Amino acid sequence: MEFYTKPGEYDPINYVPHTESHGTKELWKTFWILLGITLLDFIIYFALGPSGYRNFIFIFFGIVKAYYIVGAFMHLKHEKINLALIILVPTIFILGLIMGLLYEGNALSMIK
């Protein structure tokens, strides 16, 4: 069921702000960046042997890809900064959790 407001009425649940199109240029640019980084992943995998540096590079590339997907495709770059922070601040906590647990996992292997 949809509710149409009469002119002069504001419906807080169904209100949709008017959006303008930003054009496709930035989107295609983002696609080529994502493709390039994936190819780099592929090349670096074989160029470097298994090492901490390589892992760090992969995680860094993952974060770069996340920036482009969330910023450009999901449009978060163009939203109000408050909304962006709602997503980003908990994510930083998750990153901290990942790093802590990787360290603990490594420590656990020493104890086992």
Partner 1 sequence: MDFLVFIPLFRTVEFTPMANHSEASFEKMPMWAGGRSPFNVSYGKLMMWIFLLSDAFTFSSLLVQYGAQRFSNIESQVTTKWPDPASIFNHFPFIHGIHLPLLFVSVMTFILILSSVTMVLAVEAGHRNSKKEVQKYMLYTIVGGAAFLGCQAWEWSTFIHEGARLWGNTFGITEQGYKHLSEVAFGDHFHWEEGDRTNGPVPFAALFFIVTGFHGFHVFSGVVINVVVYIMTVRGVFERRGHYEMIEKAGLYWHFVDLVWVFVFTFFYLI
The closest alpha carbon to 95, from 66, 54, 75, belongs to 66
Contact call for residues 18 and 52 (beta carbons, < 8 A)? no
Question: Smallest distance from the beta carbon of 41 to partner 1, in angstroms?
Answer: 6
Number of residues that bind partner 1 (CB under 8 A): 66
Binding mask 19-38 toward partner 1 (x if CB under 8 A, else -) reads xxxxxx--xx--x--xx--x
List 36, 53, 74, 77, residue binding partner 1 (CB under 8 A): 74
The closest alpha carbon to 59, from 44, 77, 80, belongs to 44
Secondary structure of 59-70 in HEC code, one letter for each residue: HHHHHHHHHHHH
Contact call for residues 17 and 5 (beta carbons, < 8 A)? no
The verdict on 51 binding partner 1 (CB under 8 A) reads no
The closest alpha carbon to 21, from 76, 100, 75, belongs to 75
Question: Smallest distance from the beta carbon of 86 to partner 1, in angstroms?
Answer: 7
CA dist 34 and 25 (Å) reads 14
The verdict on 41 binding partner 1 (CB under 8 A) reads yes
Enumerate binding residues for partner 1 (CB under 8 A): 1-17, 19-24, 27-28, 31, 34-35, 38, 41-42, 45-46, 50, 55, 58-59, 61-62, 65-66, 69-70, 72-75, 79-80, 82-83, 86-87, 90-91, 94, 97-98, 101-102, 104-106, 108-109, 112
